[in-house]
Amino acid sequence: MVLTDRTGILLEETHYRYALGGAILAELMLQGRVQLEPGTGQHLVTVTQPKATGDPVLDAALVQLVNATRRTNPEVWVGRFAEHDELYLRVARQLCRKNALEEHEGRVRLIFRRTVYADLDPELRDDVMGRVRKAVFEDEASDVRTAFLTAFAGAGDILVKVFDAEKLISRMDHIRNIVKSAVDLTEEQRDQALEAERAVLRATKEAVLSAEESVA
């Protein structure tokens, strides 16, 4: 969603890294590797199953969690995942292994070389965009992963880059409640899902504030 069509260039002015960080935490939760346990005034991310998932991106995050000296809240972990230097490369290369993207060399201003990742499977992109579009603009409940994807894309300022901003305004309450109404979630999972979603939003806002302070 954050790559411009088939050119492989990242959309500008999004906080996609935090959306990815939240998605990693949410997927580890859905796969039963971690859960959120009540702490003193906050939830704490707790590893419940250290067994590898087989996904390099998820497993790198799981190793971080297992090796941590102390438990902390989901917001901190979303930030840690998001700020990892190799996150973008890990995700892009994983999508290449799944034949969703293709790695090739591009140029900036016809001079500087850089590696870009363009769509290899446009049907996959269309499927993802279609699922998110339906989740945003229709009222029926979404499956849990589509709900997470949509919620995190909203928190990371991605939705406003791929859909008409004016049309999104009337759907903001729906988007805010999209995880709460997701199908295939138990009540306990729903509470944890909402906490994970809030963590992405908080981490994203914090990143924006930090960027504004550094510019000032």
Going from the N-terminus, what domains does the chain have, and what CATH number goes with each?
16-205 (1.10.3630.10)
Q: In whole angstroms, give the CA distance from residue 177 to residue 93.
A: 32
User: Which residues have C-beta within 8 Å of that of residue 21, sequence separation ≥ 6?
Assistant: 77, 78, 79, 80, 81, 82, 87, 200, 203
Token reading at 135: 């989740």
Mean pLDDT score, 58-86: 94
Q: How confident is the model at residue 110 (pLDDT cuts 50, 70, 90)?
A: very low
pTM comes to 0.88
Q: How much of the chain, in percent, has pLDDT values that exceed 90?
A: 62
Residue 149 has pLDDT above 50, yes or no: yes
Q: How far is CA 125 from the centre of its chain?
A: 16
Q: How confident is the model at residue 95 (pLDDT cuts 50, 70, 90)?
A: confident
User: Which residues have C-beta within 8 Å of that of residue 196, sequence separation ≥ 6?
Assistant: 22, 25, 26, 29, 36, 74, 78, 148
